[in-house]
Each structure stands twice: as C-alpha cells, then as structure tokens.
Amino acid sequence: MPETPAVGREWHLAARPKGWPKPEDFALREAPVAEPGPGQILVRNLFMSVDPYMRGRMDDRPSYVPPFQLDRPLDGGAVGEVIASRADGIAVGDHVLHGLGWREYAVLDAKHATVVDADAAPLSAYLGVLGMPGLTAYAGLLEVASFKEGDAVFVSGAAGAVGSQVGQIARLKGASRVIGSAGSDDKVRALVEEYGFDAAFNYKNGPVAEQLKAAAPDGIDVYFDNVGGEHLEAALERLKPHGRVTVCGMISMYNATEPPAAPRNLGLVIGKRLRLQGMIVTDHAALQPQFHAEVGGWIREGKLHYSETVVKGVDNAVDAFLGMLRGANTGKMVVALGD
C-alpha cells in the first residue's frame, strides 16, 4: 500500500490571463496532504487532463461552470489510485475517475468518484476516448446534431480528442462523407489514413472556405464546431437546407482580446433553415451507459482508434495545457503524474 505523504504539489492560478496564458500566470505549490474523513477517499493521481474549456474558467466572468479562483488549486479530470479510504464501496488499491486534477494527491467525497477498470482499458483512456471528450463527441453528433445515416459531416479541430471521435462515429454510423480540418499536414494524413476520414485539409494552407468547398463540393448536412470564427463562416456557406451545427467549442477565440471578424454570414441561418445548438456534455449524462457500451465495443473490435499525447510530470502540466491550446497534441492531451 502506498504511504501517505506529508505534502503534495498542486497548481494554482496565480493571475488571470490577458489573451494567451503565460507560464507566470500559474504557480506550482506544496500543500499538506489531509487524511480522508468519513465517506471520503485519498487518491494518488496517476493521470490528469488538460482541456480547452479550462481556459474559459481562468476568466472571471459568468459561465456554465464557476471560474477558477486565484491562489487556489485548479481542477479538472483525473484518474488515480486510492491510497486511503473511509468510504463503503471503494477500497484501497481501486482506481477512480474524479474531478480534482492539477495536483498529485486529492481528498474527496467518494460520491464524486467513479471506480474504473484498469484491465478493461488504459487508465488514461478514461480521460479521453471513454471519458468526457468521448461522450462529448458521441452526444454532440448523435443527439445534438441529430445525425442520421447518409449525412455528410464536417468536423473542425478534427485531430483533437473530441473531433477525431466525431469523425469516426459518423463513419461507423453510415455518413456519406466525413471531412475534417486540422493544423498540420501530419494531422491531416492521420485523419485520412488512421481515422478513416474521406477528406481532410490543413486550415493553415489557405482560406478555409475554399478548402472546404473543394472537400465537400456537394455540401454538408452537419458541422461539428470546435473552432468557431472562419471555420463556422465557411461551414454556413456549405451547409445544405435544414443543416445542423453542434457548437461544442470555439478555441480560435478563447484567447482573443478583440471581437472576432467572422462569421459575417449568419443571415444564411434563416434562408437555409439551419439549426445551431450549443452543447455542454453534462447535459447528456443519461447517454453514458449507451456510450460506454457502444464505443467500448468499437474499441475492442478495432473499429475505432484513438491517440494520446502524453506529457510526463506534474511540473510540466502547464506546458501541456499551453501546448494543447496551440494544437501541439494529436488526440487527447494528458499529463502522467505517476512513476
């Protein structure tokens, strides 16, 4: 049984970023490791997640989730090993998924932890393909965008943890065509050769509207938006009447200090009778059992593939977060905290 240490390290938000976050906006500090109280567990985190939504929580403004507090620990998805337990149903040695990442050790109420099976999938997968990003892709395509067989689908940010799953789920569900955009030629090759997209393009190689028109000459039925801005404007042009847009994220604008120049063509929503709907994954928790059963089956059968970019060490967590915002990852960006 791992020994309980006296102190552990945790990342705090030292200053609210102005535009792009900087390393000095964060501070790695030591904190005492508490013993769990009744109904609680102590977890040694092995993997933690860095995700685009975390950038929005660094601003002090109203949102669907409270902002991070200055000089307090950041939080986010994590998977770890239980090293002390005073809770029924969770034993020392169990592995759990929980929401207190950005730290080496976490004490939490057991009701906020989910036991996961390290033999069924790598632990890091519960932060990606079998976790929040995977459910986001599944619910965002099938429920929010009302995907149906024969739809042509365009995904922006398609080489990321969410986008890569959206394209594959669309293909497995009978899409007529799946198109993706990414930020490098290597990622574009991966989308076609590893993930089975019908077409993909590097948005840095030319105007998105022109590249999307070439990739989808007959138009698209569904746009899964992870980027916003120019991508959304281009998609509105290519959407067929009664097309649907899942607005999952707008990473192109998260660090902007000025209003975006695009989209300038929102009037198309009226004539084409388009449906644009934002999504928050927590609204779709009821899909979790169906998602795990179907996606888990595809993974076991080798029909659905996933990639991870793993950064080692809690010291490098901020570097991993900043790299993710700049597109340095292919698939899910995770930080390995364990040995």
CA angle 322/129/47 to nearest 5° reads: 55
| pLDDT at site 2 | 60
- pLDDT score of 44: 97
* Structural domain includes residue 289: no
Q: Could you tell me if 24 and 56 lie in one domain?
A: yes
**SS3 of residue 300 by DSSP:** helix
Burial of 212 (0-12, 13-18, 19+ CB in 10 A): buried
Q: Residue 226: its pLDDT value, please?
A: 94
Averaged over successive runs of 10 residues, the pLDDT of the chain (339 residues) comes to 83 96 97 96 98 94 90 97 96 97 98 93 95 96 98 97 97 98 97 97 97 98 95 97 95 75 87 96 93 93 95 97 94 90
Instruction: Give, in order, the Cα–Cα distances in Å from 142 to each of 83, 116, 137, 145.
Output: 39, 25, 8, 6
What's the pTM? 0.90
| Spatial distance between the Cα atoms of 86 and 233, rounded to a whole number of angstroms | 53
Domain CATH code at residue 46: 3.90.180.10
CATH number for the domain harbouring residue 208: 3.40.50.720
Q: What is the pLDDT of residue 254?
A: 75
Task: Tell me which residue range forms the domain holding 312.
Answer: 7-128+306-336
Q: Are residues 223 and 317 in the same domain?
A: no
Both tokens of 47, joined, read: 């993997």
Verify that 264 and 205 share a domain, yes or no: yes
Residue among 5, 75, 70 at smallest CA distance from 35: 5
- pLDDT for res 5: 87
pLDDT at 260: 73
CA–CA–CA angle 229, 230, 233 (5° rounding): 90
Give domain status of residue 296, yes or no: no
Here the tokens at position 246 are: 């899942």
pLDDT at 83: 97
